[in-house]
Homo-oligomer: A and B are copies of this chain.
């Protein structure tokens, strides 16, 4: 279980003997909280242990190395934040894409700090974390293609849709609602995705995309 914003700073009760699973979960929870405040190399395991009210040795009992601990924390956060979105089958492609965009914007609105921490972890940390984020992104591509009604596209479309997703991530993360209205952002992202996909598969369809914008 990963810390949600509500549980941040929750003081854990003075610890007696805990079950292995509960202890692991507690430590990961604390690790995630602390990782919001500072990057991994500035985080001492002493502090994690202290917050849990246990000795540092016990931490090493559950996670052989600091890197292992780090990977466990980021993996848990990834499971929590990047849960694959559900798209209703009955809606039209345009509507399904809009739902996906809406879902992501909402996710960032609710967990901006956590999400930033997570994607930044993709860079600095362990190779396993880099791979984790990369494979999570890879897994996202077919979902968006399915939603668009274009499941079977060539390698170029796969490649650029993946890039588009990363670009959208950056766009939404740097988005300032004061400068750009929420609806304008969502509208643009939907049209942008359709245009990108059309360009990579069937350029004639671009005209249709233009139509949806008038």
Contacts and interface: CB of A to CB of B under 8 A. Distances in A.
Contacts of A204: 210, 214
The range of chain A's interface size is: 35 or more
B159 A163 contact: no
Nearest to A170: B166
Copies of this chain, count: 2
A155 B179 CA distance: 6
Contacts of A166: 166-167, 170-171
Interface in A120-175: 120-125, 130, 155-156, 159-160, 162-172, 174-175
Contact of A188 (B175, B191, B200): B200
Contact of A167 (B120, B156, B163, B213): B163
Interface of A: 39-41, 119-125, 130, 155-156, 159-160, 162-172, 174-176, 179-180, 184-185, 188-189, 191-192, 195-196, 199-200, 203-204, 206-207, 209-210, 213-214
